[in-house]
Structure 1
């Protein structure tokens, strides 16, 4: 690795930035209409009224990640207390508590089938547990430890019970065959840490967000990006595919959320909260795609009417930074977790 401030590296960085700028300008020239102007005659969405239906207490430290199972009932959370907890969100009960070898968990994922959960973080490893098989102590059995990262594990998502995609701090995306425990794909995806992954509804493509301020669209079968999206001015902390499969939303450290359209290769809308004084850590879309929800480090979850670009309300309750949100696949609830050690289910 060349030393910092190396003239050749700096020259290449400047060249890259100028190419980025030219691409951005070329994209902007093609933008002939905004989403809110195109939807001017659409009626305003009714104000969303969500309240905390379940307050789930059990973690003893900051909760960093939450993800719903495909059944829309169970979710998994990972915390710096070194535990994964499987929750029944209907009752608020803990179904399983899984102790981890490393407490520095940054991401969790539930397989759609509800059979497997995965987690990882500063241990530079992705660990997979089978919830249907338990060891002698009654804890879900660890079935895979996927090592081989040169940076922390920032995101993981199951394609199915046999395939997992991961993004990491070494700027790479990896695809794993869980039956063999082998890496089937491994490539440099961004110019900075890969922070977030979201699968398309048909699971043929996925989108990634990175600290290099860009998002990229990938085909499961290819190792080169189909499209790169610019616009954010700081880390893209979260990406979320639109239910239509033709767009995706983002939440960023630059205190904004955005909607990008894949077919027109454009940013469609820029969403800002009434008092833009904090960054967004996570984002999710309602089943219709009409409502965008973003967890923020101002302890709140902000909501917008995506078509009219109107702030639709705020979910208050957490007492510290909201680190992650997950919308139930059936659209009936939203789970959120926070540094206040609590998990909330809104409905």
Structure 2
């Protein structure tokens, strides 16, 4: 044992030395700060969003929300064992889908609006065809993707035929839904993969993990292109920047951050002026100028990403905000919470 321990200690030291060397190299590239560069930019106007629609229907904590590609419909998953598809313009339920397992952690809407997927503590990803009903009248299960050794924490459709998933067994899998088989399956992180965000062109994606790191991947490769260190606790949420040049994160360490691919490092850290909550989720406005962060303090915090100014707070939820999603056209933000409600902010 002693020998192995000594070897492990030596390897850890070597790893730390390498990480510090990387950090030093990054510092050399850091000739200025984002705040300095954007000093001359006019202050952003106050974001004035209010709850346009309050979507009531779930009878337990709502864990995840995701917009369809039409920016009108969204799907939510709750511990009441239901997926609900909503028309966010009218506030009406379009469809209620009963789940075989109530422990849902992640939901996804295909960009086409034809399929929804979900998964969680049942260690699988279930795909439903929204346009086809089974004998009971609810959306038909078209695929049950098995083979995970941990909970399913995140899923995103690449298109109607492909889905990418992240799970508690540290893996990323890509599935061919037509052939019903995995085309890609690899260990991506040293801890649970918690969040996945696809690039605007859908060629690359970013992941966030319990191992405190984020990674940039190419869909055609199984090796990370870049790894980002800095967070001091679980990275709960990642969101690709609309420019395709960076991404934002929300973390358990009570910070949200903006990262840049080209300089291979963090550009800025967002913290609320008074409260000190952990962040569960993040999203960006269509221009990328504003970041929205759902938090443990029941509210959504907004910052100007260029000037790092706290722009305001969206209040209304009565328990922690678990997930938020900005619509594709940038016109609305959907948020869901442990208070069992879903809000559409416009």
**Structure 1 length normalisation: TM-score?**
0.96
**Cα pair 2:108 2:156 within 8 Å, conserved:** yes
The aligned residue for residue 31 of structure 1 is 30
CA distance in 2, matches of 1:8, 1:181: 43
Equivalences for residues 86-101 of structure 1 within 5 A: 86-101=85-100
Q: Using the TM superposition, give the Cα deviation of residue 9 of structure 1 relative to its aligned residue in structure 2, in angstroms.
A: 4.6
CA deviations on 1:117-142 (whole Å, 9 max, x unpaired) are: 00000111000000011111110000
CA distance in 1, matches of 2:320, 2:121: 20
The aligned residue for residue 254 of structure 2 is 255
The aligned residue for residue 136 of structure 1 is 135
The aligned residue for residue 57 of structure 1 is 56
User: Does residue 333 of structure 1 match 2:332?
Assistant: yes
Secondary structure of the structure 2 residue equivalent to 1:184? strand
Residues 247 and 80 of structure 1, relative CA distance in 2, 3 Å threshold: same
CA distance in 1, matches of 2:130, 2:121: 23
The aligned residue for residue 267 of structure 2 is 268
Q: Using the TM superposition, give the Cα deviation of residue 8 of structure 1 relative to its aligned residue in structure 2, in angstroms.
A: 4.9
CA deviations on 1:173-196 (whole Å, 9 max, x unpaired) are: 000000011000001111111000
**Structure 2 length normalisation: TM-score?**
0.97
Alignment coverage as a number of residue pairs: 344
Unmatched 5+ stretches in structure 1: none
Q: Using the TM superposition, give the Cα deviation of residue 6 of structure 1 relative to its aligned residue in structure 2, in angstroms.
A: 5.8
Q: Using the TM superposition, give the Cα deviation of residue 28 of structure 1 relative to its aligned residue in structure 2, in angstroms.
A: 2.3
CA distance in 2, matches of 1:209, 1:20: 18
CA distance in 2, matches of 1:310, 1:18: 34
The aligned residue for residue 311 of structure 1 is 310
**Cα pair 1:293 1:304 within 8 Å, conserved:** yes
CA distance in 2, matches of 1:21, 1:235: 20
The aligned residue for residue 45 of structure 1 is 44
**Cα pair 1:255 1:276 within 8 Å, conserved:** no
Tell me whether 13-22 or 93-102 shows the greater mean CA deviation: 13-22
The aligned residue for residue 21 of structure 2 is 22
Secondary structure of the structure 2 residue equivalent to 1:268? strand
The aligned residue for residue 157 of structure 1 is 156
CA distance in 2, matches of 1:13, 1:81: 44
Secondary structure of the structure 1 residue equivalent to 2:23? helix
User: Does residue 285 of structure 1 match 2:300?
Assistant: no
CA distance in 2, matches of 1:329, 1:168: 25
The aligned residue for residue 224 of structure 1 is 223
Q: Using the TM superposition, give the Cα deviation of residue 204 of structure 1 relative to its aligned residue in structure 2, in angstroms.
A: 0.3
Secondary structure of the structure 2 residue equivalent to 1:129? strand
Secondary structure of the structure 2 residue equivalent to 1:36? helix
